[in-house]
Amino acid sequence: MSWRLVLRRAPALRVDARALSPARLRGLSADDVRRIALPSGRDRLELGQWFDVLQDDGDADVLDLEGDLARFDCIGAGLQDGTLRVRGDVGDSAGLGMAGGRLLVDGDARDLVGCAMRGGWLEVTGAIGDLAASALPGDMDGMVGGTLVVRGRAGDRLADRMRRGTVVIHGDVGDFAAARMVAGTLALGGACGAMPGWGMRRGSVVFAGAAPQATSTFVDVAAEAGVFWQLLARDLARFGPPFDDLPRRGMTRLAGDLAVQGKGELLVTT
Amino acid sequence: MAALQHNGVAIVDTFAEAFPMKATRLLVTARDLAWARHAAVSATGLATSVIACGCEAGIERELAADETPDGRPGVAILLFAMSGKELAKQVERRVGQCVMTCPTTAVFAGLPPAAGEPVALGRNLRFFGDGWQIAKVLQGVRYWRIPVMDGEFVAQESTPVVKGVGGGNLLLLADDTDAALAGATAAVAAMRQVRGTILPFPGGVVRSGSKVGSKYAGLVASTNDAYCPSLAALAPRTELGEGVRCVLEIVIDGLDEAAVAGAMRAGIAAVVARGAQAGVRGLSAGNYGGKLGPFHFHLRALAPAEGVAP
């Protein structure tokens, strides 16, 4: 039996929803689920105050949330297995530090999506805010594993300090995408704001849509890199348009950021 | 020794005795098949026998562009050694000296990652990049990009090692050298169609079949005098009947027992199909009485159905 929680009314204050996961609800009765308390402001309020708690015939490893959850932060934070589906918008830090499983958001998400993510699959059909796949304050590394897919646009400082994993943004992105990137792959389907790859040491940023305004600390590399491009393009093709035809497209390669290590690259498709 | 007759070819009622080995498959790709072949031939050179080569290696088959990770034509090669440690050494040495050096090539593991324990493929070769090398992890698989003078050499981080089977063999007993060569060539052509196997000797054929040991203390192997026509009347023991003046051997290494059996079956069928009138009068196999190798390939079980020409 899978759980379905339908939001009756939005809370007045922000709610930390990291306790909501398929694993946490597995084996509980409906009353037990209603009694789960979530932090809200200085209080802890029980789920039953906000949600209709329903059981469906389905996989026990699936939890469905429905409604406008824009005031619910940290949904899917620390998720390790199972599937958490949200039909509606979510708040900040969705998928914060998630290590496995699937978090699927059919709506928009605010800032810090997939921040410090370590594994799993995080997909948002709408737009997301700033600092997605980035680092927690004080951390050296941002996202270190897993896959983040966003069908809409993303805000500023996307993949800041990202170290490993794959981020795919189908829409436009803001300024400082892949800033201070350590490694990993960022693929962009739309337009890109200013200063892409600022301070990046390693890693790859693929521009399947509009070409970026690269800074002067990135240099053209004329050498053949067709083998690597085919490996990367074939991997990204699974994300659908506009990435599906990457293996049939060429690319030019800009290496940088020369202000730091300079082993990163901006791959601009042609 | 008793023999079955198939299309006039006597199939001796004996078996080939084979041994467990450590094996891996590598996919070598290049801008075109010619350069992939150059790299594969070079990487599998001097790899006929573990007696003195460190490993046995050969080309398994050629690959079309849609069969390779990077969409370029390539060649699948198999390498076999007596230990995982020796295989790791051979892989690194041969890929480093023969594949990385060959223009436009790249190298990938040809077995699924879960097939066995990984040994280094690009993991150590990356240091040739002198700090300029770059890694990329795609769907859990790490690749190394090493800057070289024609662009970059891409090598997968590691390749899995599996338990293979080495030393499957077939002996062709013929009227003369021409007949033996023609029969062996036909058998090799048929056996090379079997996936998961290689025939590590030149042209797939060995004329200096060996026995274990020697009268000389320093040698671990010496000529198989029981199958030398020149010694038929001299040696204390001979396995050759009247009229046999040339013997050639085909050695088979495979990724598993079924692959070796399949190759031997194909070889036997090819020789039998030509019939005794082609000059190969008999087929036999080498063994050590069943005491050394756990894999026994009985020719009787691998022969075509009795009385039916294949």
pLDDT digits (tens, 9 = 90+) for B76-126: 999 999 999 999 999 999 999 999 999 999 999 999 999 999 999 999 999
**Whether A68 contacts A88, CB under 8 Å:** yes
DSSP strand pairing (B280-284 vs B158-174):
antiparallel
**Whether B54 contacts B196, CB under 8 Å:** no
The string of DSSP letters for B116-128 reads: SEEEESSTTGGGG
Phi, psi torsion values for A243, nearest 5 degrees = -95, -15
| Residues facing residue B155 across a β-bridge | B107, B144
Amino acid at B195: R
| CB-side neighbour CA atoms (13 Å) of A4 | 11
pLDDT digits (tens, 9 = 90+) for B220-242: 889 999 999 999 999 889 999 88
Partner residue facing B150 (CB), from A183, A224, A263: A224
Does an H or E element contain A220, and which? strand A219-221
Rounded Cα gap, residues B281 and B244, in angstroms: 8
Rounded Cα gap, residues B183 and A135, in angstroms: 68
- What length does chain A have? 270
**Whether A264 contacts A182, CB under 8 Å:** no
Q: What share of chain B is helix, strand, coil (3-state, %, to 5)?
A: 30, 35, 35
A235: contact with B, CB 8 A cutoff: yes
- Across the interface, whether the CB atoms of A202 and B134 are under 8 A apart is answered yes
- B259 conformational bin, left if phi > 0, alpha if psi -120 to 50, beta if neither: alpha
Structure tokens, A128:
């997301």
Residue A154 carries which DSSP code? Answer: B
Residue A49 carries which DSSP code? Answer: G
Assign B86 to helix, strand or coil. Answer: helix
Residue of A118, A227, A246 best to disrupt the B interface, most CBs of B under 10 A: A227
**Whether B166 contacts B80, CB under 8 Å:** yes
Rounded Cα gap, residues A212 and A197, in angstroms: 10
Phi, psi torsion values for A62, nearest 5 degrees = -120, 135
Tell me which chain B residues have a C-beta less than 8 angstroms from the C-beta of A183. Answer: 135
Does an H or E element contain A29, and which? none
Phi, psi torsion values for A252, nearest 5 degrees = -110, 150
What ipTM score was computed for the predicted complex, to two decimals? 0.92
CB atoms closer than 10 angstroms to residue B218: 5
A202: contact with B, CB 8 A cutoff: yes
For residue B310, pLDDT over 50 is answered with no
**Whether B212 contacts B288, CB under 8 Å:** yes
Give the distance from residue B77's alpha carbon to the nearest chain A alpha carbon, in angstroms. Answer: 19
Structure tokens, B159:
């390749």
pLDDT digits (tens, 9 = 90+) for A51-79: 999 998 878 799 999 999 999 999 999 99
pLDDT bracket for residue A174 (50, 70, 90): very high
Q: What share of chain A is helix, strand, coil (3-state, %, to 5)?
A: 10, 30, 60
- What pLDDT, on a 0 to 100 scale, did the predictor assign at position B306? 59
Q: What is the mean pLDDT of residues A41-47?
A: 91
A238: contact with B, CB 8 A cutoff: no
- What pLDDT, on a 0 to 100 scale, did the predictor assign at position B62? 98
- What pLDDT, on a 0 to 100 scale, did the predictor assign at position B308? 44
pLDDT bracket for residue B1 (50, 70, 90): low
- What pLDDT, on a 0 to 100 scale, did the predictor assign at position B2? 67
Give the distance from residue A203's alpha carbon to the nearest chain B alpha carbon, in angstroms. Answer: 8
Tell me which chain B residues have a C-beta less than 8 angstroms from the C-beta of A202. Answer: 134
Burial group, residue B213, by CB count within 10 angstroms (0-12, 13-18, 19+): exposed
A147: contact with B, CB 8 A cutoff: no
For B97, residues 6+ apart whose C-beta sits below 8 A from its C-beta are none
